[in-house]
Amino acid sequence: MSFFRSAASGVRSLFSATRGTTPPRVSTPPTIQKQTRRYCDEAPEHKIICIEDYDQFRDAVLNSSYPVLVAFHADWSGPCQMYIPRVENAAMHYDLLTVAKVNIDYCSDVAQEYGVENVPTLISFNHGEEISRSEGVLEEDNLYNLCEHIIEHVHQ
């Protein structure tokens, strides 16, 4: 008997042994609620700004009357894709805080001027002065603490 015939008979006996039995029940997965993400055009006018060039950066960040948290990011970065929506969401909890998103691939001159070498990088500004800087992904508690620190710095 060849190998293929013995293998085929083994498969037949496997199927004949399960004949007449009901297949195992598969539970349906729980329904997942889709979370909607706020984009630049859905947020209040001063809350989230997408920076496209240095002139817009100067007007929206350096000349802003609000404290601004600048999020340097890149489309190709997995951590940025996960983190930037969390930064936007955190900023929505603070009336005074504005988020400016700077894509380093399109605004490399801004990133180079502020020495951004890694993404994501958060730099907070108040009246054009750098208050704090953070590289990498922050835990959610630390992100909210950073926002609190920015707001406290404004009131000093």
Q: Which CATH fold would you assign to the domain 48-154?
A: Glutaredoxin (3.40.30)
CA nearest neighbour of 122 among 151, 141, 90, 100 = 100
Half-sphere exposure of 54 (CA within 13 A, CB side): 7
- Residue 93, both tokens: 């909890």
Domain spans of the chain, in order of start:
48-154
pLDDT of 36: 39
Report pLDDT digits (tens) over 60-76: 999 998 899 999 999 99
Question: Is a pLDDT exceeding 50 seen at residue 41?
Answer: no
Amino acid at the residue 28: T
Report pLDDT digits (tens) over 19-35: 555 555 555 555 544 33
DSSP state of 62: I
